[in-house]
Amino acid sequence: MKRYLRSRASRFEAAIRGPEDGIESVSVNPKTNVLFILQTLRTGGSERVVVDLCRRLNPRRFNCFVVALVDGVLRETLSEMKIPTLLPRMRSARKDGLNVMGEISRYIAVNEIHVVNAHHFTPFFYGFFGAVRHHCRIYYTAHSRNEIDMTSGPWSVVGGVLLRLSDGAIGISPDVSEAIRQRFRLGPAKVLTLSNAIDHSRFDVGVDAGAKRGELRIGQNDRVIGCVGNLRKDKNYPNLIRAFRIVEEHVPGAKLVIAGEGKRRKDLETLIGELDLTGKVLLLGARDDVPEIMKVMNVYCLSSLMEGLPLSLLEAMSAGLPVVGTDVRGIRDVIADGQTGLLVPSDSPEKLSEALIRVLTDEELARGLSTQGQRYVLREHSVEKWVGRYESLFSKNGPGNDDIRRN
């Protein structure tokens, strides 16, 4: 079947072949060349995973490349890291889809890519043709059950076919891996679980917290609730903002800071105005100084409707913050209620505000949650172990992955 598909791919390649101008080539035969394909270069969890892998994979064994369908602030980060990056020219998925597939295919050929790791289904779909055409291994990484659930109808059939012809799918938590197996009807051997990890050294930074508060227009004695993530519906920021409206009535000097960008910003600004919270809820937009911003927070809160394995929550725990989250998949995989954080019912501003007030007003509780949360992250989400598993998966000899598959 693969041979047949590659034969068909050759004809398809001829139809969409175009000039290779502007595609940077790097001659790197002795190493394994890994291409990561992303939906965007914004500051989301999957983007952070790719940046961390580019930073941590052994440079004597791997060269990293990135393709993204949508631009964002992380392009500058990748440029500073000297990671070759391609942004295909795409105005519309319907009109330019074939061109994007061809452009990615040519990029794979020019840079002699050995392994393609596509994060989210759309990048996997666009990268699949080029990987098969040029005899690369290709892995699809899913970051949430919601992402899998949205791949319904004909796309679940298409996804099942492509994944059977690929080298495997990766779930970032056991729950996500199970969703992949169920949706695409894959056998257990086809799906790996590689739980997200945190580079603790990123959050072990010395920061002048007073100066940072001044920069963000936060008072020195203000009590700060924080959250980091794209402004998407599933993050349920309206729930957090409504909960904060209750908190600020009981905690003098309370502030809420949200770092992230997205289409729902105007809706959130409207809600903030309606609740008379202007100046108390700060939408910081996309930031590249998250570790420093976390140093001015007193508690971290994730009020999502659903998650995969929430990277920002692990980062907050690594930074030593007490955390509060909604009792949904992904978050409850990380928070043991009353031990590594507090869990509250989903979409209940009243219950969420109660938990936040407890943490902000009970120093002993806050200290205990932060200590146990930090220990949990160091024990269960070690970046060294995580990178080692990816290196095993990506290596030229690989995959020798029996040690990865059932972790």
Please check whether residues 185 and 43 belong to one and the same domain. Answer: yes
Q: According to the per-residue pLDDT averaged within each range, which of 41-50, 192-201, 205-214, 218-227 is highest?
A: 218-227
Query: How does DSSP assign 95-127, residue by residue?
Result: HHHHHHHHHHHHHHHHTT--EEEEESHHHHHHH
Mean pLDDT for 66-71 is: 95
pLDDT of residue 160: 97
Cα 172 from chain centre: 10
pLDDT of residue 73: 87
Please check whether residues 395 and 329 belong to one and the same domain. Answer: no
Please check whether residues 127 and 237 belong to one and the same domain. Answer: no
Does position 193 have pLDDT exceeding 50, yes or no? Answer: yes
Report the C-alpha gap between 394 and 117 in whole angstroms: 9
Mean pLDDT for 251-267 is: 94
Report the C-alpha gap between 134 and 74 in whole angstroms: 28
For 369, the enclosing helix (H) or strand (E) is: helix 363-380
Of 255 and 262, more confident: 255
Token pair 């970046």 is at which residue?
Answer: 383
pLDDT of residue 200: 84
254-259 β-sheet, strand order: 281-285, 254-259, 223-228, 299-302, 323-326, 342-344
Does position 5 have pLDDT exceeding 80, yes or no? Answer: no
Written as six digits, the tokens of 303 are: 């009020």
Please check whether residues 171 and 211 belong to one and the same domain. Answer: no
Confidence bin at 27 (pLDDT 50/70/90): very low
Please check whether residues 135 and 224 belong to one and the same domain. Answer: no
CB neighbour list of residue 265: distance below 8 Å, 6 or more residues apart: 231, 283
Percent of the chain clearing pLDDT 90 (strictly above):
75
Whole-model pTM? Answer: 0.76
Does position 6 have pLDDT exceeding 80, yes or no? Answer: no
pLDDT of residue 46: 92
Cβ-count burial of 23 within 10 angstroms (0-12 exposed, 13-18 middle, 19+ buried)? middle
pLDDT of residue 206: 82
Please check whether residues 26 and 57 belong to one and the same domain. Answer: yes
Please check whether residues 236 and 373 belong to one and the same domain. Answer: yes
Please check whether residues 267 and 325 belong to one and the same domain. Answer: yes
Please check whether residues 180 and 67 belong to one and the same domain. Answer: yes
Of 195 and 21, more confident: 195
Query: How does DSSP assign 266-312, residue by residue?
Result: HHHHHHHHHTT-BTTEEEEES-S-HHHHHTT-SEEEE--S--SS-HH
Confidence bin at 29 (pLDDT 50/70/90): low
Judged by average pLDDT, the poorest of 58-62, 73-77, 397-401 is 397-401
Cα 199 from chain centre: 14
Does position 157 have pLDDT exceeding 70, yes or no? Answer: yes
Of 92 and 359, more confident: 359
Of 92 and 195, more confident: 195
Confidence bin at 16 (pLDDT 50/70/90): very low
Average pLDDT, the chain: 89
Please check whether residues 400 and 352 belong to one and the same domain. Answer: no
For the chain, how many structural domains are there in total?
A: 2
Report the C-alpha gap between 130 and 122 in whole angstroms: 14
**Residues 390-405 pLDDT 10s:** 999 999 666 544 444 4
Does position 122 have pLDDT exceeding 70, yes or no? Answer: yes
The CATH number linked to 256 is 3.40.50.2000
Please check whether residues 96 and 176 belong to one and the same domain. Answer: yes
Mean pLDDT for 257-277 is: 95
Instruction: State which residues form the domain around 376.
Output: 200-380
**Residues 372-393 pLDDT 10s:** 999 999 999 989 989 999 999 9
Please check whether residues 25 and 155 belong to one and the same domain. Answer: yes
pLDDT of residue 31: 94
